Amino acid sequence: MELEEVELREFLNKLYLNFGYDFRDYAQASLKRRICHYLQLKKINSLSELWDNITSDNAALEQMIQEISVTVTEMFRDPSFFKSLNKHVIPRLKTYPFFKVWVAGCATGEEAYTIAIILKEAGLLERSIIYATDINQRSLRKAADGIFPIDSMKNYIANYQQYGGLGDFSQYYSAKYNSVMMNKELSKNMVFAPHNLAVDSVFNEFELIICRNVLIYFNQTLQNKVINLFYQSLCDFGYLGLGSKESLLFTDKRKEFTEIDRKEKLFMKTAK
């Protein structure tokens, strides 16, 4: 199925104006692919038919948002990034009596639980709050439940071992049938909340912001806007972690950050 640019733009405008979901500045090629895939999956023939579907059924709207927003993630994804975080950021966090972490675009929560495990092993979990946010309400509910497919564990365990975890990964979850439930101790200091990076604003001040493999789905205008949001949300000398294919290079705030680890895309906000 081929979508016309004008037709897609009109659909995205209506989606934003009626429901507040803003995909207008997402990278159009990948967004178009995801919408086309959803139309084929649901056997819907046009965007106008899809519009009728989501305006008459709130569950259909939620399902569409689930499908077209990106939710691919895993625990300790890219272990070398978390090694670098442990080396460069954790020692600084130890100097704070209390600190806040924002996992932006958390999807189903794997990265938030990763951060919780790292903080627990560093003895810092008790004096932290982890805010895990996403545009996708269904993903947030899954994240808050902390239930994941047992088939994922083999990969997560391998990632954890490559990262250099201090214990046995199985101590952090209990298995039942085809699922595992993460220990509630990990999530007791977590706040799961909706936040749309495209339109929402600063809501707290953070010592660490993690937003990995999200910006790649935005166009340059939205990437710049989001980096500005992160800059405003970080305390002086706060840290920002991005994905391996993401950069501050073409953003307004590139000179306001110090590169801590170029390869792992770890940055520190310089003082104002």
CA distance 229 to 202: 6
Question: What is the residue whose two structure tokens read 């895939």?
Answer: 37
**Residue partners of 249: CB distance under 8 A and separation at least 6:** none
| Tally of CA atoms within 13 A in the half-sphere of 135 that contains its CB | 22
Q: Quick: pLDDT tens for 133-184.
A: 999 888 999 999 999 999 999 999 999 999 999 999 999 999 988 999 999 9
In the chain, beta strands by DSSP E: 99-104, 128-134, 147-149, 173-176, 179-182, 190-194, 206-211, 234-242, 257-261, 266-269
Q: Quick: pLDDT tens for 107-139.
A: 999 999 999 999 999 999 999 999 999 998 889
Q: Quick: pLDDT tens for 216-265.
A: 989 999 999 999 999 999 999 999 999 999 999 889 999 999 999 999 99
Map out the domains of the chain as residue ranges. 5-68, 79-269
Structure tokens at 6: 């004008």
Q: Quick: pLDDT tens for 28-59.
A: 888 898 899 899 989 999 999 999 999 998 88
79-269, what's its fold? Rossmann fold (3.40.50)
Q: Kindly report each contact of residues 244-250 with a partner whose C-beta sits within 8 Å and lies 24 or more positions away, as own/partner.
A: 244/78, 244/81, 244/213, 245/213, 245/216, 246/212, 246/213, 246/215, 246/216, 250/220, 250/223, 250/224
Question: What pLDDT does residue 1 have?
Answer: 63
Alpha helices (runs of H) in 57-136, residue ranges in sequence order: 58-68, 79-88, 90-93, 110-121
pTM passes above 0.85: yes
